[in-house]
Amino acid sequence: MWTRGGREVSRLEEGKLKALVRKGSVAAATRLVAEGTAGVRTRLDLSGCELGDRGSKALGAALASPGCQVEEVCLRGCRLSMREKLRSLSAGLEANVTVTRLDLSGNAIDDRSCANLARAVASTTTLQVIDLSINAIGDDGYRELAEALAANGSIRQLHIGHNRRCGLQAFLLAVASCRSLKILDLLGLPIPHSLFPTLFDLARRRPDLAICFADCRAERCLNIRFANSYFVVPVRHALRAQHRDDDQDVVLAHATLLDDPLTACLRAPA
């Protein structure tokens, strides 16, 4: 569903737009998307709408239209994994100056198709929230995204849970330099236990960055808050991090445990 001027647009109009995008009717879809008047907040939701090559081009052209007033685009589960589809959408985003929120979750986006999106992220000056969760991003994709975030000064929230584990260490190290990023959602990301120190170190180095991560693979977990970050980690790894000889113990020594009977296990030393 999408709204215009704070009111819900009819199902008929929503269905009309989806039909135009599916058919690849560039001109008609562009006119419909651009109907919002200046200053009117508009949300475009095409979730579950399978976009072909022509449909992706139609949507990209609509977003690139000078009259486009769309601020939120939701394309969850639209099967955008093919590079040509994402290339058309990314081209539209590069030319767009109104979209602030983009949801591309559940599209099976892999490393190859992520490259085009990364270029759009690097060049946009308005996009603030991007959801790339439940995709197939790995080593190369994380690297492309990290470089794009470093070049971008507007992204404040990144949701990237439920992707692949390879390449995560380099990504977490690079994220530290992305000063505009304030929320990093890693829920459901299969971070190996060996990278927990890197994750804790990122929270220590960037107290202004809220990191959300949960590892519920163990029966006994601790809910930890450190600075603005929240972690759910196995007890044994939390204790191991606290008793390391280097500065990793600083993280858990100053952490707050949330709603857990094992709080005493991680009390700060006197």
Confidence of residue 217 (pLDDT cuts 50, 70, 90): low
pTM listed for this prediction: 0.78
242 or 66, which is more confident: 66
The pLDDT tens digits of the residues spanning 241-256 come to: 443 444 444 444 445 5
The average confidence (pLDDT) of the chain is: 75
More confident residue, 28 or 253: 28
Measured between alpha carbons, how far is residue 55 from residues 20, 29, 76, 105, 137 in Å? 8, 9, 15, 18, 23
For residues 110 and 107, what is the distance between their CA atoms, to the nearest angstrom?
9
Q: Which is more confident, 209 or 214?
A: 209
pLDDT above 90: residue 193: no
Per the CB < 8 A criterion, the answer to whether 238 and 252 are in contact is: yes
pLDDT category, 225, cuts 50, 70, 90?
Answer: confident
Site of tokens 């992305």: 178
Q: How far is CA 254 from CA 56, 210, 221, 251, 258, in A?
A: 49, 16, 18, 6, 13
| pLDDT tens for each residue of 109-134 | 999 888 889 999 999 999 999 999 99
